[in-house]
Every structure is written in structure tokens, then in C-alpha cells.
Amino acid sequence: MTTETLRENPPTTIIAAFFGFLVSTVSAIAGALLILSARDEIAATLRRANPGMPADQLDRLTLLGQLVPVAIAVVIALVYLWLSFKLKAGRNWARVTLTVFTLLQAASLLTTAPSWAASVSCGVAVVATVLGYLPPSNRYIAGVRRAG
């Protein structure tokens, strides 16, 4: 069996893991976008921390406080999507990297007060990770490695 044939026929477990990581990524982005709706809360926190700050500076800092986390989330999402496609192509290094990211994501839930989106994203990523290590997934990745 050629690498091309293997890539065209990933098992259901890999396809489910792939879609699971896609759903996890979308829910994480949704959570990050909630920051855009938290402008008043961010401004109030900054105002309390810096009582004498001029209004224009407070506005700029509030905007920065919204945009930086969203930009970071978008970059992470792009990397996550790229890794998801590499997993679907049978790359073990992508599976391992996604596993590490999922473990870090789970650890972050234990150390913060997670949003609903973060909890959903992590839960789906955990399920996708498990699917990526089931026997059909292992056989597929081993087959791609042998053919490659």
C-alpha cells in the first residue's frame, strides 16, 4: 500500500480525532472572541489598578488588553489546525504534539477559572487525543511511517 493510498483512507478514529480537534479549535476561538465583548470589565479593572490614568491612555490599554489575547488565540488556532491536518495525514509527530498541547490545555483548566468555551474545547481535545491512539489509529500511523 502506498503512502498516497493510506492518506486517502484514514480510519474512522483518525477522521473523528481530526474533526474533534477542529471543533476544539473553533470553541477555543469562540472563547477568545468573548474577550472582545468584555471591554467594560477590562477598562474597569485597568481603571482600578491605575486610578490617575488619562482616558485616552486607558482606551488604548483596554484595546490592547482585548487584541493581544485574541491575536495569540488565532496564532495558536492556526498551529492547531495545521497539526490536525498533519494528524489526518498520518504524522505521528503531529499526534504527539497535539497530545502535549491537550495536556497543557487541561493543566491550564486546573490553574484558572475556565470559561465554558475553554472547558468544551479541552473536553473535545481530550476525546480527540484518545481517538488518535486507538488501535486503528496506531495501525494507520505505523502504515504511513512504513510507506513513507
pLDDT attached to residue 2: 52
Residues 142, 63: Cα–Cα separation, whole Å: 47
Q: What residues have CB less than 8 Å from 107, skipping those under 6 apart?
A: none
Instruction: Label residue 4 by pLDDT band (50, 70, 90).
Output: low
26-32 mean pLDDT? 84
Of 30, 16, 38, 18, residue with least CA distance to 121: 30
Taking only the tens place, the pLDDT of each residue in 90-139 is 999 999 999 999 999 999 999 988 878 888 889 999 999 999 999 999 99
For the chain, the structural domain boundaries read: 3-147
89 — phi, psi (to 5°)? -80, 0
**Residue type at position 71:** A
pLDDT attached to residue 34: 83
7-17 mean pLDDT? 89
Under a CB-based contact definition with an 8 Å cutoff, are residues 84 and 65 in contact? no
Angle in degrees, CA 1, 129, 89, rounded to 5: 30
Q: What residues have CB less than 8 Å from 29, skipping those under 6 apart?
A: 73, 74, 77
C-alpha cell at 135: 488501535
CB atoms inside a 10 Å sphere around CB 4 = 9
Residues 108, 111: Cα–Cα separation, whole Å: 5
| pTM for this model (two decimals) | 0.81
